[in-house]
């Protein structure tokens, strides 16, 4: 019986932590974290800074998702973000929404 409870508890904890860490995992898998971290500037801006910058910009998500796919430069400095063809439209939008939720 205690075993069953332990298994259920572990499963519950897993469900609770899924959404945020799943996005982090996707970002890792798609190589975003080679240039970004959540809270420190690396090659690209910290994701928390990105979230702050677009806090009041309702249309930012689709625009940034397109930029993630196609690349771009000039918003954060002179280092360009190369195109990321390894993410499709849905994945790029999912990642950007996650980035914008980090504050």
Can you give the binding site for ligand HEC, defined by CB under 6 A?
30-32, 34-36, 43-45, 50, 64, 67-68, 72-77, 79, 81-82, 84, 87, 95-96, 99
Tokens representing residue 6 in the block: 């332990």
Considering the complex, state which of residue 18 and residue 29 has its C-beta at the smaller distance from ligand HEC: 29
Considering the complex, state which of residue 12 and residue 71 has its C-beta at the smaller distance from ligand HEC: 71
- CA–CA distance from 44 to each of 2, 34, 49, 81 (Å)? 48, 9, 10, 7
CA dihedral of 65, 68, 69, 72, whole degrees rounded to 10: 120
**Residue 17: CB minimum distance to ligand HEC, A:** 21
């Amino acid at each position: 019986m205690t075993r069953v409870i332990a298994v259920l508890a572990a499963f519950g904890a897993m469900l609770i932590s899924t959404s945020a860490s799943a996005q982090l995992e996707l970002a890792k898998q798609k190589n975003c974290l080679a240039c970004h971290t959540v809270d420190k500037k690396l090659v690209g801006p910290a994701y928390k800074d990105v979230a702050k910058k677009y806090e009041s910009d309702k249309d930012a998500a689709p625009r940034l998702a397109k930029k993630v796919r196609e690349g771009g430069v000039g918003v954060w400095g002179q280092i360009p973000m190369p195109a990321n063809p390894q993410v499709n439209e849905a994945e790029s939008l999912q990642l950007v929404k996650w980035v914008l939720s980090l504050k």
